[in-house]
Amino acid sequence: MQRCGVIICRYSTVYDPNEKTFDKILIANRGEIACRVIKTCKKMGIKTVAVHSDVDSSAVHVKMADEAVCVGPAPTSKSYLNMDAIMNAIKQTGAQAVHPGYGFLSENKEFAKRLVRKKCHISQTDMHLLSKVMFIYFIKFFQDAEEAVKIAGEIGYPVMIKASAGGGDMRKADISTNISANGVCCCLQVLADKHGNALWLNERECSIQRRNQKVVEEAPSTFLDPDTRRAMGEQAVSLAKAVKYSSAGTVEFLVDTKKNFYFLEMNTRLQVEHPITECITGLDLVQQMILIAKGYKLQQKQSDIPINGWAIESRVYAEFMHYVFGNSIFDDNCYFAFLSKVRVDSGIQEGSDISIYYDPMISKLVTYGKTREEALKKMEEALDNYVIRGVTHNIPLLREIIVHPRFVSGDISTKFLPEVYPDGFKGHMLTAGERRELLATAAALYVAAQLRSQKFLGDLSRQCELCVELDQGVHMLGVSRSGNNYTVEIDGEKVEVSGEWNLASALLPITINGKHRNLQCLLRTAAGEITLQYLGTSFKLRVLSKLAAYLGKHMPEKIPEDTSSILRSPMPGSVVAVSVKPGDNVSEGQEICVIEAMKMQNSMTAAKTAKVKSVHCKAGDTVGEGDLLVELE
């Protein structure tokens, strides 16, 4: 793992030996949140117990903990949601308290009750169901939209509509003909102790969502003014006090364009995006949760809670962004090269497996600045310097979001992604100037590599003509060199490119026409194939000498595989259902099978109308990327 620069965590854990808490805490979770809790426990002198499934036996959180207990096989129902196994682990290790993190059992009332009966502290309250019911005056399950409109008309608008199975999708209905409307999603962080004290720690802006899941968060929000923030905070605290809540929790509101805000729900747990609150307040929320669980009073007053600067969090996931937000999972081999004022919360390391059974998060990338502009610039730099190998990821999308003019201006809502990318995200679209920059960089890199081989392959002229292929386009370039500086002529335009040209490094920091750029060289072969990550997106190029390009025209072309007759799995996963059998006639676009990966079901469809020749999978099978599923005649 390569790390450059300084990583600054913008929160402070000060361990006071006089504050006796627990000797040992079990973390009923996995991944980055388990690692996050363990870090604070270590600073507080508390021993930790990790639980894990059999496929997580070598996970980072297992290695970090003082003890580890296997609680079952890979499926979550048999491991991380297995209350009996986790209760046995508590008994086996003698843990005095449990931190459930988020997800899994973090808001499970039955789990909380079992811990109370065992006299084991839990760092969340068991009152969460009450807090969600008390402040929503009408709850009903609807069979269809018509029934929803009918009931909404009876009780009055606005109303909130949430998917019955959860998943984060909460919609605000203003009128019967428009069941969902744009809004800003704000989460108010609260802290409450067991002595009736409660604080609000400002808001987190969580409107940038994909598939109703948060992608980019920031604190504070660009939309709220001090008066609205205070009113929301006071209502959040009132809610926590009304249900006698104790611990860290989050109250979610939807805010309309007129800054009217509406209660959505209360999450009685630590949230994924808690680091940005820690950045602007300086508080360690995990430490606060532990102190509260032990019975300590809050040491801060509301006037002590600052908004100190600006923080932005990007959720880095393993997935294939060009499948209209589809997913992919591979063995992960990643390392980081970062700047100052950057925080990384991660539960993986070089060689980690990103399993099909769990959330595909690689890390939470957080940047901090005195202003939003500085935090955004730091995020752009951090994403450009974030080196990940062995797994496709969503960094191209994250970078596009944080540099998009609409996002930079603060014009955001829960509809941001579908409005900006109505046909799905396809990667960065190059302007003419950016295309020249990319072509020139590839040409300069090619020449630098040839010059490095000069002592072995003989002399190489400092002036050369090259043919560069990009997106089925062919470009003739003239390249001249002076030291580490290259002048590349493209279609009558000159591009100046300079850098150290360290060909052994994954990072390629260069200057193009006086502007600093951070690129990454993902692939470079002797055949002139070069893949560069530029402005967040990877681009495949091919660089050839003028002679090689001429001779290449006379080479026979490889006939590509007829993919319309075969269906391969685009990702590792499990087969949920197979809808056809040999001899069946299928139409173009008809569903053939369903593959589940990382909690998402993906429908695989026929590319043409034909008869099924053979089926190579069945429900329950585990498949890898590229595995043959079905053949058509």
How far is 173 from 152, CA to CA, in rounded Å? 9
CB 604 within 8 A of CB 594: yes
Strand partners for 387: 335
Task: Enter the tokens of residue 291.
Answer: 């102190």
Residue partners of 317: CB distance under 8 A and separation at least 6: 360, 361, 362, 393, 394
Residue 404: count of CB within 10 angstroms of its CB? 15
How far is 40 from 604, CA to CA, in rounded Å? 44
CB 402 within 8 A of CB 169: no
Is 269 considered catalytic here? yes
CB 407 within 8 A of CB 417: no
Helix (H, G, I), strand (E, B) or coil at 448: helix
How far is 286 from 37, CA to CA, in rounded Å? 6
CB 298 within 8 A of CB 191: yes
493 by Cβ neighbours in 10 Å (0-12 / 13-18 / 19+) ranks as exposed
Distance, C-alpha 466 to centroid of its chain = 39
How far is 619 from 594, CA to CA, in rounded Å? 9
Residue 277: count of CB within 10 angstroms of its CB? 28
CB 587 within 8 A of CB 593: no
Q: How many helices (H) and strands (E) does the chain have?
A: 16, 33
Task: Enter the tokens of residue 596.
Answer: 């589940």
292-316 per-residue burial string, b: 16 or more CB within 10 A, e: under 16: bbbebebeeeeeebeeebbbbbbbb
How far is 323 from 101, CA to CA, in rounded Å? 31
How far is 252 from 267, CA to CA, in rounded Å? 8
What is the per-residue DSSP string for 575-630? Answer: EEEE---TT-EE-TT-EEEEEEETTEEEEEE-SSSEEEEEE---TT-EE-TT-EEE
How far is 536 from 228, CA to CA, in rounded Å? 36
How far is 476 from 543, CA to CA, in rounded Å? 10
Scanning 214-312, the segments in alpha helix (DSSP H) are 226-242, 274-281, 285-294
Residue 410: count of CB within 10 angstroms of its CB? 12
- Among 449, 450, 448, 433, smallest CA distance to 512 is for 433
How far is 385 from 510, CA to CA, in rounded Å? 12
**The one catalytic residue among 269, 343, 481, 517:** 269
Provide the annotated active-site residues: 269
